[in-house]
């Protein structure tokens, strides 16, 4: 989809749909939103829908950063402590590596 | 340009695809597979993992032969090409060197040369106090006797079998292959005048990645999770399991479990297994074979007398499997007896006589060990049994506990009177207990040099005569213990020719499926799922017993397999074996059906049936599973050479593609003037 050829109202509705969709535990939609519409929101000359697009991008970015922080923390903790957790660690794991603790 | 490049690349790929068909020969040009190697594998117990582990794609290291102390320094600190793959001469395979290797990060693996040259005076990788936690002595029973406080049974033990190594350890058993490795080392890896050798160097790669980790509870839990939730379940470990072999002088009804009415039984027992540091290697001559052969000779000596003048009590002979690993076989039999799941129960047992290690007697003495806590006077009468024999039966000091023996498992449950016969008073006479070197030479089995193998089979060595004496004593004692009359004692003698059992080949052994090219190995293994129906040694003993105690019947093959259809035969009392006859001058070796009262009973630790994987009362030792175990050597080049070859080949490809028309043009332009 080429944003150049879309009228501004459609751009706004697309941005909004991606923003709302990200709330369904889909942070990648927010990532795509931010990357795709960044130029539109901040680097293009102003047009009527731009402030709303800007706010959606900013909120998507905040949500994205929150998700990244939570996931990074959990993954680090899990990788570090899984062996020490014994039974709980095994029940939480999808694949358990062979031959190591 | 792009098309031409594609074209030439596709031609290059065509050629390499054709070469791919021959790629196995390319692999053979690089790698030399080492076939006669034996790995050390990982075992688990309730709290630890023991044994060796390699990385999942093998461990690679530059070869270095460890022959002198300076080699050790080179490997551990000064050599410039770590990690090293150590080829260890026999003399260096001891605890101090192995622990230094374990603590070093420069060792990728160890390959031990197994030979008798340079072998130390003693080597026992087992612990100093075998099976200390699963015997009868504990805090609540003879607490001052527990943990070998009074007698250290295996003082020469260095405990290597119970250490955890993070690198693979293999044993090189074939002398020719060891020569190949040495030659590779001498051609490429030798230091010249103290300076480091240059690339290309000879390297070795060892694969022995084990699946199990941490301890038994974890491993069984993960196996369970895999089986329930995974699409492609991986089994991580298997419990050690096999079969005990038992027989009795009067047949017992195999389908009637629990207490057998009017049966009072004397148990004669010995162990059937051994172990060493390496997987499936356990020649165990003094540790196990001496006991097996003695008990078989006893059974052979007793069978005529018990037919003619049967004693009032029944004599129950049992060969327990898995005793090296916390008494797997005997604990299972006792467990079954307690739950009325066996042909007899503990109320039927009158007394017990166990044959321990009896091959290395010093002088004439044989020692009768008994339990000081539950000792009853005169539990087994050996004086009249020993009359006229060339041995004396002595008793150790009254406060000495029992040596590690299956009898201890019976005592844990019931105070049965019993004895353990052994050739040692305090510590073992066996200097190679549970190691690779406990073989026929350890038992001083020597033949005069000019005998053929067939003559060797019937030659009576000194070891054979000594064991025959012990067997005669045991047979007579059992007869007296079973209430037989003393006047029959002189008819009971064991035949020294029973020693054929320890040979590679014999007429009897040809009946069996088992026939390796070396001496039999007594490691318990993993039982029916892995090793085929029954472990070879177990089958070996079962068929020999059938041969010694059974009778020939004239059933056909189908009748032999379904004896319940024949009125005269009773499959509850006997088992039926379809065997081929011995090939000799008078006999063409026709198969026939033999019936004998020999049975197998499952030998797996009760903890695995009770699903108590952390149980301190039973053996919980599983063996890890693995995908592939192999070893190979190859010349190793630096990364720089590999990159250089890559760049060169890219350059050549570019050059070929740019000159493609010149190089690959065929005479396609037919001259117009042909016609």
- Does the structure show a pLDDT above 50 at B514? no
Helix ranges restricted to H, B56-148:
69-73, 95-103
Using an 8 Å CB-CB cutoff, list residues of chain B that contact chain A. 53, 56, 209-214, 218, 221-222, 225-226, 234, 236, 624
Q: Strand pairing partners for B591? A: B580
Closest CA to B276 of B484, B435, B473: B435
Residue B640 lies in a domain: no
Q: What angle (nearest 5°) sits at the alpha carbon of residue B78, between those of residues B116 and B187?
A: 55
Q: What is the pLDDT of residue B512?
A: 35
Closest CA to B61 of B174, B237, B189, B163: B189
Using alpha carbons, list the distances in angstroms from residue B431 to B16, B155, B185, B288: 58, 9, 33, 14
Nearest to A99 among B56, B221, B225 (CB): B56
What value does the mean pLDDT take over residues B421-429?
A: 93
Inter-chain contact B222–A90, Cβ cutoff 8 Å?
yes
How far is residue B539's CA from residue B508's CA, in Å, rounded to a whole number? 12
How far is residue B57's CA from residue B54's CA, in Å, rounded to a whole number? 8
Residues B185 and B293 in one domain: no
Inter-chain contact A99–B211, Cβ cutoff 8 Å?
yes
CB B360 within 8 A of CB B443: yes
Q: Which among B345-354, B457-466, B524-533, B577-586 has the top mean pLDDT?
A: B345-354
Structure tokens belonging to residue B645:
């070859």
Q: What is the pLDDT of residue B322?
A: 93
Q: What angle (nearest 5°) sits at the alpha carbon of residue B23, between those of residues B20 and B26?
A: 140
**Of B260-269, B317-326, B527-536, the least confident:** B527-536
How far is residue B664's CA from residue B15's CA, in Å, rounded to a whole number? 14
Q: List CB contacts (< 8 A) between B209 and chain A.
A: 98-99
Q: List CB contacts (< 8 A) between B222 and chain A.
A: 90, 96
Q: Label residue B529 by pLDDT band (50, 70, 90).
A: low
- Rounded to a whole number, what is the largest CA-CA distance in chain A? 61
Residue A75 lies in a domain: no
CA B301 centroid distance within chain: 29
Closest CA to B501 of B294, B259, B209, B194: B294
Residue B642 lies in a domain: no
Residues B448 and B579 in one domain: no
Over residues B576-592, the pLDDT tens digits come to 988 887 666 666 778 88
Q: Which residue has the tokens 């019993």?
A: B418
How far is residue B169's CA from residue B108's CA, in Å, rounded to a whole number? 10
- Does the structure show a pLDDT above 60 at B500? no
Q: List CB contacts (< 8 A) between B220 and chain A.
A: none
Pick the residue with more confidence: B331 or A83? B331
Q: Label residue B441 by pLDDT band (50, 70, 90).
A: confident
Residue A58 lies in a domain: yes
Q: What is the pLDDT of residue B533?
A: 56
Tally Cβ neighbours within 10 Å of residue B648. 10
Distance from CA of B92 to the nearest CA of A (A): 28
Q: What is the pLDDT of residue B422?
A: 95
Distance from CA of B106 to the nearest CA of A (A): 20
Phi/psi of residue B130, nearest 5 degrees: -60, 140
Residues B277 and B309 in one domain: yes
Inter-chain contact B234–A101, Cβ cutoff 8 Å?
no
Distance from CA of A89 to the nearest CA of B (A): 11
CA B599 centroid distance within chain: 22
Q: Is residue B155 helix, strand or coil?
A: coil
Probe site for chain A from B207, B216, B218, B223 (most A CB atoms < 10 A): B218
**Of B226-240, B376-390, B394-408, the least confident:** B376-390
Q: What is the pLDDT of residue B443?
A: 86
- Does the structure show a pLDDT above 80 at B384? no
Q: Label residue B12 by pLDDT band (50, 70, 90).
A: low
Q: Is A88 on the interface with B (CB under 8 A)?
A: no
Closest CA to B332 of B606, B526, B86: B606
Helix H or strand E segment including B43: strand B43-44
Q: What angle (nearest 5°) sits at the alpha carbon of residue A44, between those of residues A41 and A45?
A: 115
Probe site for chain A from B58, B225, B629 (most A CB atoms < 10 A): B225
Inter-chain contact A87–B209, Cβ cutoff 8 Å?
no
Q: Is A96 on the interface with B (CB under 8 A)?
A: yes
Domain boundaries, position B178: 25-236+627-635
Structure tokens belonging to residue B117:
């040259």
Q: Label residue A57 by pLDDT band (50, 70, 90).
A: very high
What burial class does residue B457 get, using C-beta atoms within 10 Å of its C-beta: 0-12 exposed, 13-18 middle, 19+ buried? middle
Q: Label residue B446 by pLDDT band (50, 70, 90).
A: confident
Residues B566 and B526 in one domain: no
CB B309 within 8 A of CB B488: yes
How far is residue B132's CA from residue B291's CA, in Å, rounded to a whole number? 21
Q: What angle (nearest 5°) sits at the alpha carbon of residue B485, between those of residues B482 and B490?
A: 105
Residue A95 lies in a domain: no
Q: What is the pLDDT of residue B508?
A: 38
Domain count, chain A: 1
Q: Is A84 on the interface with B (CB under 8 A)?
A: no
Q: Label residue B671 by pLDDT band (50, 70, 90).
A: low
Inter-chain contact A90–B53, Cβ cutoff 8 Å?
no
Q: Is A101 on the interface with B (CB under 8 A)?
A: yes
Q: Is residue B323 helix, strand or coil?
A: coil
Q: Is A90 on the interface with B (CB under 8 A)?
A: yes
Probe site for chain A from B207, B222, B228 (most A CB atoms < 10 A): B222
Residues B564 and B521 in one domain: no
Phi/psi of residue B327, nearest 5 degrees: 60, 60
Residue B271 lies in a domain: yes
How far is residue B90's CA from residue B277's CA, in Å, rounded to a whole number? 14
Residues B562 and B414 in one domain: no
Nearest to A87 among B210, B221, B236 (CB): B221
Structure tokens belonging to residue A27:
């942070």
Q: Is A100 on the interface with B (CB under 8 A)?
A: yes
Distance from CA of A77 to the nearest CA of B (A): 20
Please report, to the nearest 10 degrees, the dihedral formed by the alpha carbons of residues A88, A93, A96, A97 taken in order: -100
How far is residue B574's CA from residue B552's CA, in Å, rounded to a whole number? 12
Inter-chain contact A99–B218, Cβ cutoff 8 Å?
no
How far is residue A52's CA from residue A41's CA, in Å, rounded to a whole number? 9
Peptide bond into B200 cis (omega under 30): yes
Distance from CA of A93 to the nearest CA of B (A): 10
Residues B225 and B303 in one domain: no
- Rounded to a whole number, what is the largest CA-CA distance in chain B? 122
Q: List CB contacts (< 8 A) between B218 and chain A.
A: 86, 90
Q: Which among B128-132, B361-365, B660-664 has the top mean pLDDT?
A: B128-132
Q: Label residue B668 by pLDDT band (50, 70, 90).
A: low
Q: What is the pLDDT of residue B26?
A: 80
Tally Cβ neighbours within 10 Å of residue B611. 9
Task: Provide the mean pLDDT of chain B.
Answer: 85
Tally Cβ neighbours within 10 Å of residue B288. 26
Closest CA to B93 of B85, B101, B83: B101
Phi/psi of residue A53, nearest 5 degrees: -60, -40
Q: Can you list the positions of beta strands (E) in B360-410?
A: 365-369, 392-394
Q: Which residue of B has its CA nearest to A98?
A: B211
Inter-chain contact B222–A86, Cβ cutoff 8 Å?
no
Bridge-based pairing state of the strands B418-422 and B349-355? parallel
Domain count, chain B: 3
Sheet holding B551-553, edge to edge: B551-553, B591-596, B575-580
Pick the residue with more confidence: B66 or B193? B66
- Does the structure show a pLDDT above 50 at B505? no
How far is residue B123's CA from residue B77's CA, in Å, rounded to a whole number? 27
Structure tokens belonging to residue B615:
């149980």
How far is residue B441's CA from residue B152's CA, in Å, rounded to a whole number? 25
Length of chain A: 101
Residues B441 and B461 in one domain: yes
CB B342 within 8 A of CB B601: yes
Distance from CA of A80 to the nearest CA of B (A): 16
Inter-chain contact B214–A101, Cβ cutoff 8 Å?
yes
Q: What is the pLDDT of residue B503?
A: 41
Q: List CB contacts (< 8 A) between B221 and chain A.
A: 87, 90
Residue A89 lies in a domain: no
Q: List CB contacts (< 8 A) between B53 and chain A.
A: 99
Q: Label residue B3 by pLDDT band (50, 70, 90).
A: low
Inter-chain contact A99–B213, Cβ cutoff 8 Å?
yes
Over residues B35-44, the pLDDT tens digits come to 889 999 999 9
Q: List CB contacts (< 8 A) between B624 and chain A.
A: 99
Q: Label residue B516 by pLDDT band (50, 70, 90).
A: very low
Over residues B76-103, the pLDDT tens digits come to 998 888 899 999 999 999 999 999 999 9
The DSSP code for B192 is B
- Does the structure show a pLDDT above 70 at B287? yes
Please report, for chain B, how many H helices and E strands are present, in that order.
Answer: 18, 24
Over residues B592-604, the pLDDT tens digits come to 888 999 999 999 9
Residue A56 lies in a domain: yes
CB B42 within 8 A of CB B51: yes
Residues B228 and B254 in one domain: no
**Of B2-6, B323-327, B620-624, the least confident:** B2-6
CB B41 within 8 A of CB B208: yes
Q: List CB contacts (< 8 A) between A98 and chain B.
A: 56, 209, 211, 213, 234, 236
Q: Can you list the positions of beta strands (E) in B272-359?
A: 314-320, 349-355
Handedness of CA B532, B533, B537, B539 (dihedral sign): negative
CB B537 within 8 A of CB B545: no
Q: List CB contacts (< 8 A) between B56 and chain A.
A: 98-99
Distance from CA of B626 to the nearest CA of A (A): 9
Structure tokens belonging to residue A89:
């660690």
Residue A35 lies in a domain: yes
How far is residue B252's CA from residue B314's CA, in Å, rounded to a whole number? 9
Inter-chain contact B236–A98, Cβ cutoff 8 Å?
yes
Probe site for chain A from B51, B221, B625 (most A CB atoms < 10 A): B221
CATH number, domain containing residue B403: 3.40.630
Q: Label residue B59 by pLDDT band (50, 70, 90).
A: very high
Inter-chain contact A101–B213, Cβ cutoff 8 Å?
yes
Residues B186 and B314 in one domain: no
Sheet holding B392-394, edge to edge: B392-394, B365-369, B418-422, B349-355, B265-271, B314-320, B241-248, B599-604
Q: List CB contacts (< 8 A) between A90 and chain B.
A: 218, 221-222, 225
Q: What is the pLDDT of residue B377?
A: 60
Q: Is residue B36 helix, strand or coil?
A: coil
Domain boundaries, position A35: 1-66
Phi/psi of residue B654, nearest 5 degrees: -65, -45
Tally Cβ neighbours within 10 Å of residue B60. 18
Q: What is the pLDDT of residue B167?
A: 96
Interface confidence, given as ipTM, is: 0.81
């Amino acid at each position: 989809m080429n944003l150049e050829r879309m009228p501004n109202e459609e751009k706004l509705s697309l941005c909004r749909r991606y923003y709302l969709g990200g709330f369904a535990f889909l942070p990648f939609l927010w990532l795509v939103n931010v990357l795709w519409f960044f130029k539109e929101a901040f680097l293009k000359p102003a047009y009527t829908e731009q402030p709303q697009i800007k706010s959606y991008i900013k909120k998507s970015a905040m949500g994205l950063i929150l998700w990244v922080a939570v996931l990074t923390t959990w993954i680090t903790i899990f990788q570090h402590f899984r062996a020490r957790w014994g039974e709980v660690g095994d029940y939480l794991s999808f694949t358990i590596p062979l031959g190591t603790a | 340009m792009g098309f031409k490049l594609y074209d030439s690349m596709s031609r290059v790929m065509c050629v390499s695809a054709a070469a791919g068909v021959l790629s196995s020969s390319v692999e053979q040009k690089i790698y030399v597979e080492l076939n006669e190697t034996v790995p050390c594998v990982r075992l688990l117990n309730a709290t630890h993992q023991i044994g060796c582990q390699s990385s999942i794609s093998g461990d690679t290291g530059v070869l270095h032969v460890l022959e002198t102390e300076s080699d050790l320094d080179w490997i551990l600190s000064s050599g410039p090409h770590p990690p090293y793959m150590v080829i260890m001469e026999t003399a260096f395979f001891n605890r101090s060197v192995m622990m230094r290797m374990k603590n070093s990060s420069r060792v990728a693996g160890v390959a031990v040369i197994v030979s008798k040259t340079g072998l130390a005076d003693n080597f026992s990788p087992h612990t100093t106090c075998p099976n200390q936690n699963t015997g009868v002595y504990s805090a609540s029973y003879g607490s001052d006797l527990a943990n070998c406080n009074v007698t250290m049974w295996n003082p020469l033990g260095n405990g290597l079998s119970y250490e955890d190594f993070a690198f693979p350890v293999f044993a090189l058993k074939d002398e020719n292959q060891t020569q190949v490795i040495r030659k590779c080392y001498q051609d490429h890896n030798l230091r010249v005048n103290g300076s480091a050798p240059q690339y290309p160097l000879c390297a070795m790669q060892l694969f022995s990645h084990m699946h199990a980790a941490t301890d038994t509870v974890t491993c069984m839990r993960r196996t369970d999770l895999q089986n329930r939730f995974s699409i492609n379940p991986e089994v991580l470990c298997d419990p050690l399991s096999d079969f005990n072999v038992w027989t009795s002088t009067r047949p017992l009804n195999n389908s009637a479990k629990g207490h057998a009415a009017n049966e009072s039984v004397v148990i004669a027992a010995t162990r059937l297994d051994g172990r060493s540091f390496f997987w499936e290697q356990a020649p165990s001559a003094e540790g196990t074979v001496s006991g097996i052969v003695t008990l078989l000779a006893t059974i052979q000596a007793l069978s005529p007398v018990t037919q003619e003048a049967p004693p009032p009590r029944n004599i129950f002979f049992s060969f327990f499997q898995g005793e090296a690993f916390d008494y797997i076989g005997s604990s299972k039999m006792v467990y079954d007896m307690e739950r009325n799941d066996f042909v007899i129960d503990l109320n039927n047992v009158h007394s017990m006589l166990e044959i321990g290690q009896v091959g290395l007697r010093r002088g004439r003495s044989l020692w009768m060990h008994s339990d000081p806590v539950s000792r009853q006077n005169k539990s087994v009468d050996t004086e009249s049994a020993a009359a006229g024999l060339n041995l004396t039966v002595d008793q150790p000091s009254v406060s000495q506990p029992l040596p590690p023996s299956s009898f201890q498992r019976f005592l844990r449950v019931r105070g049965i009177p019993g004895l353990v016969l052994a050739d040692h008073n305090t510590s073992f006479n066996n200097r190679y207990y549970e190691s690779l070197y406990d073989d026929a030479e350890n038992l001083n089995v020597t033949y005069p040099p000019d005998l053929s193998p067939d003559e060797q089979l019937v030659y009576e060595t000194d070891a054979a005569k000594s064991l025959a004496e012990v067997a005669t004593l045991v047979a007579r004692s059992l007869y007296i213990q079973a209430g037989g009359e003393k006047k029959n004692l002189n008819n009971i003698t064991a035949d020294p020719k029973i020693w054929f059992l320890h040979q590679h080949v014999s007429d009897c052994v040809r009946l069996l499926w088992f026939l390796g090219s070396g001496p039999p190995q007594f490691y318990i293994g993993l039982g029916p799922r892995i090793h085929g129906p029954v472990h070879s040694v177990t089958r070996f003993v079962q068929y020999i017993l059938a041969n010694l105690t059974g009778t020939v019947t004239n059933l056909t093959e189908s009748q032999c397999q379904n004896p319940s259809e024949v009125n005269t035969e009773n499959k509850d009392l006997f088992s039926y074996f379809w065997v081929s006859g011995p090939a000799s001058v008078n006999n063409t070796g026709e198969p026939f059906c033999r019936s004998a009262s020999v049975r197998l009973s499952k030998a797996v630790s009760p903890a695995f049936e009770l699903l108590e994987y952390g149980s301190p009362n039973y053996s919980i030792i599983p063996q890890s599973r693995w995908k592939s175990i192999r070893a190979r050597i190859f010349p190793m080049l630096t990364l720089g050479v590999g990159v250089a070859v890559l760049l060169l080949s890219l350059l050549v490809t570019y050059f070929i593609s740019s000159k493609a028309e010149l190089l690959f043009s065929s005479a396609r332009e037919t001259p117009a003037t042909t016609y």
